[in-house]
A and B are shown apart, each in its own frame.
Chain A
Amino acid sequence: MNDRRLLRLRQLAQGAALLGAATVLPSCETPRAAAPTPPADTGKPVDGAPAPDAGEPPFRTPAQLNAPRPRVTMDPQEAKEAEAAKAAAADAGVAAMPPQTGVILNAPPNSAPIEPVPTKVHLNAPRRPDAGTPK
């Protein structure tokens, strides 16, 4: 690396922080449990939105549709029940379910813990049996 490039890197590293969400995201586990629960998929028509045709898949996430996301209003009884279910789950030590995104993961439930990937994978070097140590 020449001096100009090194100077450029030094300058880049000394600017103002860029990451919008970084300081409020302590780990990938915590926010998932603490994230606001997405509106429940009640299958019922939502305020101001046309009733879905029978057989139409239930609305999942705005990521899948190029349409504004309708606001879901729970009826008070339903909201109470949902709260009670959440409290019961917390009492039982059950972690909150990850948000339902409608994305299908190609992984079996309760799959074995994932081993760290040795970083040899990024190198254009022949693979050796002892190569790479988990970080």
Chain B
Amino acid sequence: MTFALSRTSGDPLQLTQEHELLVQPRRGGEVTWSLDGVTLTPAERTRGLDAWVGRATTEMHSLALFTQLASQIHLLGAPLDWSGAFARVIADEVRHTDLSLRMSALLGGPHTVTFDERTFHLPVGGSLRAHVRHTIIEAFCIGETLSGRMYRHALKAATVPVAKKAVTAILVDETFHAEFGWEVGALLMRPHEGFEAERGELARHLPGMFQSFARQSCVTRGPEWTAAQPMVESGENLGSLTDEGYAQCFYAGMEADVVPGLEAIGFPEARGAWQAFLAAHPG
């Protein structure tokens, strides 16, 4: 079943007021929702719109998945500070979805985004602890780490004030999400009975995860060719990169953060998996 997600319920409600407070950026100041004084070519507007509608979609998926994860850590008996930090992550993803929908509307795009609710949650097979560990490593240690780097470059690329503010707000949060993911990921790697089997199973998924994130990051060729391409289109920019720009973030993020981080928390296999990936993507 699909539904169109809108920002608010439509009536003057306390819940809406509370939402409006929550979605204010935590740092970087309030967003002024205006394009006054900005002249965009149709191509610039379309590029920006594509980026922000895509973000509304992916941020909502993050919100749904992280909310599911937050409820799962309760079942694992995690300390309460995990729940507190997760509550912030969830609030942040609400903020990002809201900002993205508002950017879309401001640029003359859709005010709603359509979802199939069956794509929101991940099914759990086997050990819940192994599932949570797998999802944290994949979505946070890799996903949020690469995402943070992409937003960092998107902020450098942005020329339009409203987009700068929106990207800043998201970047502040995503930086925390990556940090949170590495900490929780490391804590989940503390050995327990049956741990080595779960760890080994996850390690076997690393090559597939790397390939999957490469595709999501628009990687088409090897790191050298990718690095030689422009990261940003010329002209006014609403906080987006070229496809090769996203791919550059993938290569740089994998080298600098993801692979060393995975090794540090207890996946020595990450290095070999990454070398195999590079060997399969020469040039």
Q: How many A-B residue pairs have CB under 8 A?
A: 179
**Interfacial chain A residues near B208, Cβ < 8 Å:** 133, 135
A126→B193 CA distance, assembly (Å): 41
B124–A119 touching, CB < 8 Å: no
B154 touches A17 (CB 8 A): no
B217 in complex: contacting residue of A16, A29, A125, A130, CB < 8 Å? A125
The 8 Å CB contact of B77, one of A20, A122, A124, A131, is A20
How far apart are A84's CB and chain B's nearest CB, in angstroms? 31
> Are the C-beta atoms of A125 and B182 separated by less than 8 Å?
no
Tell me whether chain B's interface is mostly helix, strand or loop, or mixed: helix
Decide: B217 and A18 in contact? CB cutoff 8 A.
Answer: no
Taking a contact as CB atoms under 8 Å apart, the answer to whether A133 and B146 are in contact is no
- Chain A nearest CB from B2 CB (Å) reads 13
A44 contacts B by Cβ under 8 Å: no
> How far is B209's CA from A127's CA once the two chains are assembled, in angstroms?
17
Contact bitstring B40-65, A, C-beta under 8 A = 1, else 0: 00000000001100110110011001
Say whether A131 contacts B147, CB under 8 Å: no
| CB pair B216 A22 closer than 8 Å | no
The reply to whether B62 and A122 contact each other, CB–CB distance below 8 Å, is yes
Q: How far is the CB of B159 from chain A (nearest CB, A)?
A: 18
In contact, A117 and B76 (Cβ under 8 angstroms): no
A107 to B246, CA, bound (A): 36
Contacting pair A127 B187 (CB below 8 A):
no
Contact with B along A4-21 (1 / 0, CB 8 A): 001101101111111111
Q: Can you name the residue of chain A whose Cβ is closest to the Cβ of B259?
A: A1
Chain A count of residues within 8 A CB distance of the other chain? 48
Q: Out of B188, B189, B191, B215, which one reaches A128, CB within 8 Å?
A: B215
Chain A nearest CB, measured from B91 CB (Å): 16
- The answer, yes or no, to whether A97 is at the interface (CB within 8 Å) is no
Cβ-based interface call for B28 (8 A): no
Residue of A nearest to B63 (CB): A121
Q: Does A81 contact B (CB under 8 A)?
A: no
**Cβ of A22 to closest chain B Cβ, rounded Å:** 4
A122/B118 in contact, CB under 8 A = no
Q: In the bound complex, do residue B120 and residue A117 qualify as a contact, i.e. CB atoms below 8 Å apart?
A: yes
How many chain-B residues does the 8 Å CB contact rule pick out?
74
Does A112 sit within 8 A of B, measured CB to CB? yes
Query: Main SS of chain A's interface residues?
Result: loop
Task: Name the one of B129, B189, B194, B215 contacting A130, with C-beta atoms under 8 angstroms.
Answer: B215
Chain B residues near A130: list those with CB within 8 A.
215
Q: Contact check, B186 vs A25: say whether CB atoms are below 8 A apart.
A: no
Q: Is B10 an interface residue (CB 8 A)?
A: no
Does B127 sit within 8 A of A, measured CB to CB?
Answer: yes
On chain A, the residues within 8 Å of B120 by CB distance are: 117
Bound complex: CA A29 to CA B134 (Å)? 18
Choose one: B76, B146, B151; the contact of A20 (CB below 8 Å): B76
How far apart sit A133 and B215, CA to CA, in the bound complex (Å)? Answer: 9
B25 → chain A closest CB, angstroms: 16
Q: By the criterion CB–CB under 8 Å, are B187 and A12 in contact? A: yes
Bound complex: CA of A123 vs CA of B55, how far in Å? Answer: 9
Per the bound structure, the CA–CA distance linking A61 and B124 in Å amounts to 25
**Proximity string of chain A (56-91) to chain B, C-beta cutoff 8 Å, 1 when within and 0 when not:** 000000000000000000000000000000000000
Q: List 15 A-B contacts (CB under 8 A).
A: A6-B264, A12-B183, A17-B191, A25-B128, A28-B75, A118-B216, A119-B216, A120-B58, A120-B212, A122-B61, A123-B143, A123-B146, A126-B246, A135-B134, A135-B205
Chain B residues at the A interface, C-beta cutoff of 8 Å: 1, 50-51, 54-55, 57-58, 61-62, 65, 72, 75-79, 117-129, 131, 134, 138-140, 143-144, 146-147, 150-151, 154, 170, 174, 182-183, 186-194, 205, 208-209, 211-213, 215-218, 243, 246, 256-257, 260-261, 263-266
Apart from A16-B190, A108-B1: 11 A-B pairs, beta carbons within 8 A: A13-B266, A20-B78, A119-B212, A120-B58, A123-B147, A123-B216, A124-B58, A124-B150, A124-B174, A135-B134, A135-B212
